[in-house]
Every structure is written in C-alpha cells, then in structure tokens.
Amino acid sequence: MKKVIVGMSGGVDSSVAAILLLKQGYEVEGLFMRNWDSDVNNDILGNPGFSSEICPQEEDYNDAKAVCDKLGIKLHRVDFIKEYWDYVFTYFLNELKKGRTPNPDIMCNKFIKFDYFKKEAKKLGANYIATGHYARIENGLLKRGVDNNKDQTYFLSQLSNKQLENVLFPVGELKKDEVRKIAESNNLITATKKDSTGICFIGERNFKKFLENYLPNKKGNIVDIETKDILGTHYGLMYYTIGQRRGLDVGGTKSRLFVVGKNLDKNDLYVSTNEDYLVTTSAKVGELNWIYKEKLNEVTAKFRYRQKDYDVSLDFVNDSEVIVKYPQGVKSVTPGQACVFYNGEVCLGGGIIEEVYFNDEKLSYL
C-alpha cells in the first residue's frame, strides 16, 4: 500500500483531500506545518518589544487534529518558522521596501510546502505528498483545476518539475461546492469553515497594523500625476498597489482616483482619474520558471490571480528572463506580482514582473 502524507491546513480542502485518498486505498497520514510565531519572529528580528498575538494557526491545528481524529489517521506536526522567515517573509518585506507588490503565497509553495514539507514527508516514509490545491497533474503536466473560480495553478507556477513529482492534488477534479458537500456528508468540523485569506500562514490581520511591526511607516504626499498637485497624505508606499481605488486619504474630490505609480526617492504616491496611466503593452518578467517541456512563444498569461487570461507573445532573453508583449494593452500590470503562462489548460510556468512598458517605453513611475 502506497503511503501519502497530506498537508493538513485545518481547512475544508485538505480535509476532503484526505478523505478522497483514503477511499482510493492509500495509507494516509497528515502533517501540519507551523510557520509563524510572533514571539519567535520578534526574536529573529532582534526586537522583542512587539505585542504577541494569538496565532490563527493554533486554531487551524485544532481543526486539523479534529478532522484526522475523525478519519482515524495520524497527524504529525512540524515547525518551519525560521525557514518561512528566511525564504518567504524576508522576501515579502524586501519587495515591499522596493515599492513592489509581492505574492508571498507563491514563494511559500516554492520553498516551504513543496520543499521542506516534502523532505519531512519523505522522512515519514511517504511515497507521495498531497495538498488541497485546486490543480491537476496529468502525464507530467500541471493543469488548471476543474473549478475555474478556484484554480490555484497561479500559485504553483514557481515549482520545478522535480518538485511536482510524486504530488497528488485530490480536489483538483472537483468544484468547491462538491468539496463542501463531501465534508458535510462526513460530518467534518471544517465543512462550513470559510476559506483562509490574507498572507500565507499569517492569516487575516489589519495589514497596516501588522506591517508596522516590521517596516517603519514613512508618510508622504499623494500627488496628481498630471497636475503635480498634492491631494493628500499617504502612510507608507508599501500599503498601496497599482490600480487601487480604496483607502486613499484624499479629501475634497468627488472624482474616482486610481493609484498609478510610486516614486521611492521622493516618497510620493501618484494618483489619477485617467485610467490610461494604468495601461501597459509589455513587461520584463524575471525569475522565470518554465515547467513545460518546450518553449512556446504564443501563449496566454495571467498578471494577477483570478484575472482573465490575455493573449501574449514571449521573447525569451535567457533562461531566467522573458519580455512579455501584449499590444492590445492591459491595465494594472504591477512589478512584484507573478506573471503566469498557459497553453489552454496547461500551466507552462511563470515569473515575477520586474518592469513594465508602454509602446516600448519604460514607465518609471511604476
């Protein structure tokens, strides 16, 4: 009998993944990852003065334990707190310092879930690992999950072919409502639990208050990019992303304003009522991870999760960098975000947006 270690997150998706694997005849055990601890991370940072919080992961662990107990499977627990800090959270903070908009979930998959977790599972005698991701692997190809609204291949785009070996995605063939029905029919505590949001493994928090613990606020001006008029005050460029409309502390204007850029040297946040400032026609994408067996030049791309696919052409500079061209124009292509490539249902790979251009001219304010 083949042994599978399931990454039990305390959510409904991993719970149902375990059920499906048991029904398929696998020997199943769970493994819960603890990747965040406020007190430990304060010590790493060298500033123990931050107030401790009750970590949402403890509640998740209790839910995972309840599910495993009900299913009659063993649940292991492992701490990757330092690894998460070194490879995911430090990356997240460094990107914010550059004025970019990072996606830590992608790096969490690359360095934690499909690296350290996989190694830990191997120590436990696993033939396979499984997670609750909405994705599929068929004939060695990474494919979108059947549920288009929940497909998570975007977050798996930095995984190597080696990392995808001996990986199972049991819920990838199901839609979310089907997953919840399976959980309900098995009377699982996670059946109606809402999906987790927020930063991977850190959970839902007041983003501004949370980041104040790790990056100092630096107030600056909110500037109309066309008139150069000062419209208000921002409380740190890291709190804003391109295309954002809400949360702008601008009084006296009834016009709908968009964040269209940042100037790190002047610490200015640029806004405009003109959406044309959000449009770009090409981008330089680095940290390229190409999963598919051959390079393709005409593909589709997502520039953000749950965004629709756009037709793009790829000009490969080298193995780690590509110029992505989309002459039809796309709004809010943002440095720091992932650009992920597809050929139909197949996820080809992806990279991190470094620079954006309009008609081959670099938009420095982005």
pLDDT, tens only, 53-99: 555 678 899 999 999 999 999 999 999 999 999 999 999 999 999 99
Asked about 108 being catalytic, the answer comes back as yes
End-to-end CA distance of the chain: 54
In the set 55, 108, 339, 347, the catalytic residue is 108
Closest CA to 115 of 171, 33, 40: 33
Is the Cβ–Cβ distance between 16 and 182 less than 8 Å?
yes
Question: Tell me, what's the pLDDT at 363?
Answer: 86
Question: Tell me, what's the pLDDT at 253?
Answer: 64
217-273 placed in CATH 2.40.30.10? no
What are phi and psi for residue 157, nearest 5 degrees? -70, -15
Cα–Cα distance for residue pair 157/257, rounded to 1 Å: 33
Question: Tell me, what's the pLDDT at 345?
Answer: 98
Question: Tell me, what's the pLDDT at 213?
Answer: 87
Give counts: helices (H), strands (E), the chain.
9, 18
pLDDT over threshold 90, residue 366:
no
Question: Tell me, what's the pLDDT at 151?
Answer: 98
State the pLDDT confidence band at 207, using cuts at 50, 70 and 90: confident
The residues spanned by each domain of the chain are 3-207, 217-273, 277-362
Q: Read off the tokens for 40.
A: 């430990």
Question: Tell me, what's the pLDDT at 39?
Answer: 58
State the pLDDT confidence band at 48, using cuts at 50, 70 and 90: very low
State the pLDDT confidence band at 267, using cuts at 50, 70 and 90: very high
Cα–Cα distance for residue pair 337/353, rounded to 1 Å: 6
| Mean pLDDT confidence for 142-171 | 97
**Mean pLDDT of the chain, nearest integer:** 91
In the set 55, 200, 339, 347, the catalytic residue is 200
Residues ≥6 apart with Cβ < 8 Å to 8: 14, 15, 18, 30, 31, 32, 64, 67, 68, 75
pLDDT over threshold 90, residue 254:
no
Q: Give the CATH H-level superfamily of domain 3-207.
A: HUPs (3.40.50.620)
State the pLDDT confidence band at 51, using cuts at 50, 70 and 90: very low
Q: Show the CA angle centred on residue 282, arms to residues 277 and 283, nearest 5°.
A: 100
pLDDT over threshold 90, residue 140:
yes
Work out the number of other CB atoms within 10 angstroms of the CB of residue 194.
8
What are phi and psi for residue 175, nearest 5 degrees? -95, 160
pLDDT tens-digit series, residues 331-349: 999 999 999 999 999 999 9
| Mean pLDDT confidence for 181-209 | 81
Q: Read off the tokens for 112.
A: 């934690």
Question: Tell me, what's the pLDDT at 200?
Answer: 61
3-class DSSP assignment, residue 258: strand
pLDDT over threshold 60, residue 43:
no
Question: Tell me, what's the pLDDT at 201?
Answer: 55
pTM for the predicted model, two decimal places: 0.92
User: What CATH topology corresponds to 277-362?
Assistant: Elongation Factor Tu (Ef-tu); domain 3 (2.40.30)
List helix spans (H) across 3-103.
Answer: 12-23, 38-45, 56-71, 81-84, 90-97
Lowest mean pLDDT, pick from 178-182, 204-208, 234-238, 330-334: 204-208
State the pLDDT confidence band at 209, using cuts at 50, 70 and 90: confident
Is the Cβ–Cβ distance between 162 and 115 less than 8 Å?
no
pLDDT over threshold 90, residue 114:
yes
pLDDT over threshold 80, residue 205:
no
Question: Tell me, what's the pLDDT at 49?
Answer: 41
Asked about 339 being catalytic, the answer comes back as no
Higher pLDDT, 9 or 253: 9
List helix spans (H) across 266-356.
Answer: none
Question: Tell me, what's the pLDDT at 80?
Answer: 96
| Mean pLDDT confidence for 232-238 | 93
Q: Burial level of 321, CB count in 10 A (0-12/13-18/19+)?
A: middle
Give me the percent of the chain exceeding a pLDDT of 90: 81
Is the Cβ–Cβ distance between 341 and 301 less than 8 Å?
yes
pLDDT over threshold 50, residue 52:
no
Residues ≥6 apart with Cβ < 8 Å to 140: 161, 164
